[in-house]
Chains A and B, each alone.
Chain A
Amino acid sequence: MSVNVSMTLNGKAVSAQVQDRTLLVTLIRDQLRLTGTHVGCDTSQCGACLVHVDGRAVKSCTMLAAQADGAEVKTIEGVANNGELHPMQAAFKEHHGLQCGYCTPGMIMSALDLVSINPDPSESEVREWLEGNLCRCTGYQNIVIAIQAGARAMREGGK
């Protein structure tokens, strides 16, 4: 069965016909062609597919596209402002918080969700928060540093 999904994606109204079993991540990647959201596992462990749905972080591989009908969805493509890096993205670059880049969009979307509820997270709070995001490259150290620095920049910039 196919269903129609209408949602706001990165601030723009979009709609698409999808099979009822289509996952949100599949809709975003394959039909709406925003490929910054990645798929790294099939058990909702890795967090590479993390997006924001109505302002909160959601693993888009755990949600049907149909469930996003009427929702506001934000992906990594919606984070930078006219090509200028968001302070959190800039902090990842400044502190070498990424290597291969595959987990990075999920890490940034997760970090932004954390900062929205905890603007000044401690190191241990960041480490605990990242429980749902896997990275094989960095050993997490610079990701943790980057998220704290990004949070600081957001506080100072009033974002």
Chain B
Amino acid sequence: MTDTGIGASVRRKEDYRFLTGNGRYLDDMNRPGQAYAYFLRSPHAHATFTIDTAAACKMPGVVAVYTGADIAESGLGGLICGWTITGKNGEPHKAPAHPLLALDTVRHVGDTVGVVIADTYLQAKDAAENVAVDYKPMPAVTSVVDALKKNAPQVHADAPGNLCYDWEIGDKAATDAAFEGAHHVTKLDLVNNRVVPSAMEPRAALGEYDAGIDEIALYTTSQNPHVARLVISAFIQLAPEHKLRVISPDIGGGFGSKIFIYLEECVTAWAARKLNRPVKWTAERSESFMTDAHGRDHVSQVELAMDKDGKFLGLRVSTLANMGAYLSTFATCVPSYLYATLMQGQYTTGAIYCEVKAVFTHSTPVDAVRGAGRPEATFVVERVVEEAAREMKIDPAELRQRNFIPADAFPYQTQVALAYDSGNYAGSMDKALDMVDYKGFAKRRDASKAAGKLRGIGFSSYIEACGIAPSAVVGSLGAGVGLYESAQVRFNPTGNVVVYTGSHAQGQGHETTFAQLVSDRLGVPIENVDVVHGDTAKIPFAMGTYGSRSLSVGGSAISKAMDKIIAKGKKIAAHTLEAALEDIEFSDGNFTVAGTDKSMDMAAVAFSAYVPHNYPGDELEPGLDESAFYDPVNFTFPFGTHICEVEVDPETGVTEIASWVAADDFGNLINPMIVEGQVHGGIAHGVGQALLESACYDDTGQLLSGSYMDYSMPRADTLPEMRIATTETPCPHNPLGVKGCGEAGAIAAPAAVMNAISDAIGTSNITMPATPEKVWRAIQSAR
């Protein structure tokens, strides 16, 4: 290992610009003559409306005011959902129209009825006060349970009963049979609370039209600029793909929320062309709360059937999943194929059945947030396993160990479609138990008790399917796209390298990790490798960043492109050194004629490639610039065990995280420092969901937690120092042996926290977020 190669904690190349205020986020950009957009949001969850813009149009600085009627007249299409779920009835999910601007009905607080464009942002905002919108409010429903009731307010006429789909996976008959023969069944009712993604950079968009070449440039906060371009071109029909350039610059966090195609970027780009003037929009945080796709929001019943030794015989899950008012870009697949397919967990459970009803409500659309379905699945499995351990009076670590899929059983075909490629679940459990000093827990509990506190310990042994995803598999499950990734590795004549990657970065450190791959493999000094992403005019068509896929899919594409660079370099070396191609060997950045001291280094090969004065034109092309697309053959399956210890104050209900240990397996690590940082952030995200965060609506559909005054984010004093370790079981099917680490913490954490609190207070009858009030009440009710 070199100090800049694979396995080294190389300090990040991107840090300098961020540390000095030289990052280039979207709102930092301005274009000459730019106007500003302000979107008009509905204050009602459900209403019909009429709109009169005449007075606003006359306000100072106003350039234009557009409504849904203007969008309809222009012939633009609506927003789409890119994954078709086929229900129990054999029919596709209900997909009601989602116009860019509402025409006559609003369906959630924040639904958008118009846009004001003015010379300055404050002028646009002032003029918006003078748009007369006459709302006729109607009853609204935001809870999934209520939305399915008879006579519930209906969100869409073409989705009767508010049902988007009723879907199932697994063998129902076999599962029912497993329950009939069970020694004990543990049942839990669970709520997975709605969360707001909260990237620190609000979404933004800047459209600019070049009339000379009829091209729109759309700068937007996107995790996947090519997907945005495809959808905006093919479905919104704003412009042909070759006349629409999408640029996503430095992005201040995504966590899923910037995957999706949103109306604001479409309308901003459309208006820029219509006005032939740049138009910029930047969300205020209150808009982020109302319009960034939310996450989670499930209500589930789970039952686990066991034999007398605690062997898991069957798992039965029934879930209601909130879709919100409209289907966001990938909303449908999150509570189905990204959720129920993980119900096997780390266990040999013999039979599994899961049914999911996806439900429309008058609330902000729900889609993927860090983990996307997998945190919800882990919460279901790990909560019921821990509860079963209590009921069966078996140690929770021991119960898990009895049911782990053994390390020699891989590949392992699950009961719910996925085939796990590799794993060593007992290995990560053992490591976590050792780190937490499990044997010493009783003593620590006694010490807490002596101090008047209740101490609890909670486990979460999670599995995730990431490295999303093999195109053939997702295609067969209803995805409208393939999920490969692209890369281009381009040498310049002087030997430095530019890597063009489809894996967009929002803080993950790709510019460093990917440069390490190149430095390690091609022997180029890391400072001579630049990584470029985020511009459809520069990079090959690409699928972007989500589902912990950047390294395993995007990095594998870079690896594949480097294979081609080496193959081409061998040809160049063979020609230059006058040797046979098969005699050329490549290592440590040198092409050598086997058994001789004749060699050329990478830089010399690159220079030769671009100064090919004596190349045989029909046999050897000039240039050293190779592209590759990598389509994974399977998902990757990171796993691990997190253990949380809490101390609860029974007088106040305040929960303190006393310690956190994590033993994760992400396969091979390229940059351990970055991996550890990803795990820290994921854990904090999951602890936020468990203890603090909740998107709440009142009975009329008002979003009560609409700012950081009301929506409680994890802060620096939420968590103690987290202790992170890894085991390394390489992924057997990608060239780097890597799996992905960005979501693991958020997947593992909520169950670990809630299991620890349940252990401390002696009841599982408590929902997230476990606020002091809820914990106190649970303690009282359990007495």
Contacts and interface: CB of A to CB of B under 8 A. Distances in A.
Contacts of A130: 715-717
A79 B707 contact: no
B200 A102 contact: yes
B709 A45 contact: yes
Interface stretch (A1-9, A52-60, A62-70, A135-143): A135-143
B456 to A, nearest CB: 21
B25 A102 contact: yes
Given A96-B673, A137-B507, A141-B721, A43 B708 contact: yes
Contacts of A102: 23, 25, 199-201, 252-253
Interface string A27-70: 00110001111111111011010000000000000000000000
A14 interface: no
Contacts of A37: 21
Contact of B722 (A98, A135, A139): A139
B250 interface: yes
Contacts of A24: none
A149 interface: no
A98 B17 CA distance: 11
Contacts of B15: 92-93, 98, 101
Contacts of B22: 36
Contact of A140 (B17, B202, B250, B719): B719
Interface string B704-731: 0001110001111111011000000000
Given A77-B20, A85-B19, A19 B122 contact: yes
Contacts of B19: 76, 80, 85, 89, 92-93, 98, 101, 104, 108
A131 interface: yes
A90 B97 CA distance: 51
A142 to B, nearest CB: 6
Contacts of B437: none
Contact of A100 (B11, B202, B507, B709): B507
Interface string A106-144: 001000000000000001101111110111111111111
A11 to B, nearest CB: 15
A45 B707 contact: yes
Chain A interface mostly: loop
A126 B28 CA distance: 30
Contacts of A77: 20-21
A46 B251 CA distance: 17
Contacts of A41: 285, 707-708
B252 A38 contact: yes
B18 interface: yes
Q: Which of B122, B508, B708 has the most CB of A within 10 A?
A: B708
Nearest to A19: B122
Contact of A136 (B673, B685, B722): B685
A98 B18 contact: yes
Given A43-B708, A80-B20, A21 B122 contact: yes
B14 A101 contact: yes
Contacts of A75: 21
Contacts of A101: 14-15, 17-19, 23, 250, 252, 507
Nearest to A98: B18
A43 B685 CA distance: 21
Given A100-B251, A105-B21, A40 B717 contact: no
Q: Which of B15, B721, B722 has the most CB of A within 10 A?
A: B15
Interface string B479-507: 00000000000000000000000000011
Contact of B716 (A39, A42, A131): A131
Given A43-B709, A134-B708, A137-B507, A104 B680 contact: no
A136 B20 contact: no
B382 to A, nearest CB: 20
Given A42-B707, A101-B252, A104-B18, A138 B681 contact: yes
A109 B25 CA distance: 19
Q: What's the interface size class on B, roughly?
A: 35 or more
B469 interface: no
Contacts of B682: 139
A79 B14 CA distance: 18
A131 B718 CA distance: 10
Interface residues of A, number: 58
Contact of B20 (A39, A76, A134, A139): A76
A139 B748 CA distance: 15
Contacts of B674: 96
Nearest to A79: B20
B683 interface: yes
A96 to B, nearest CB: 5
Contacts of B707: 41-43, 45
A55 B276 CA distance: 45
A15 interface: no
A100 B252 CA distance: 5
A17 interface: no
Given A46-B708, A108-B19, A134-B715, A40 B285 contact: yes
Given A93-B12, A136-B253, A46 B716 contact: no
B516 to A, nearest CB: 14
Contacts of A135: 200
Contacts of B214: none
A103 interface: yes
A119 to B, nearest CB: 19
B452 interface: no
A94 B286 CA distance: 35
Contacts of B11: 93-94, 96
A144 to B, nearest CB: 6
Interface of A: 19, 21, 29-30, 34-43, 45-46, 48, 75-77, 79-80, 83, 85, 89, 92-94, 96, 98-105, 108, 123-124, 126-131, 133-144
In the A-B complex, the 8 residue pairs with the closest CB atoms: A36-B21, A101-B18, A102-B252, A100-B507, A139-B684, A99-B507, A45-B708, A139-B680
Given A101-B17, A131-B716, 19 more contacts: A34-B21, A38-B200, A40-B201, A45-B707, A48-B200, A93-B16, A96-B677, A99-B253, A100-B250, A101-B18, A103-B200, A131-B717, A136-B198, A136-B199, A136-B200, A138-B677, A139-B722, A140-B684, A144-B716
27 contacts: A19-B122, A38-B200, A38-B201, A40-B200, A45-B713, A80-B20, A89-B20, A99-B253, A99-B507, A100-B200, A100-B201, A100-B250, A100-B507, A101-B18, A102-B201, A103-B200, A127-B716, A128-B716, A131-B716, A133-B716, A135-B200, A136-B681, A138-B680, A139-B683, A139-B745, A141-B680, A141-B721
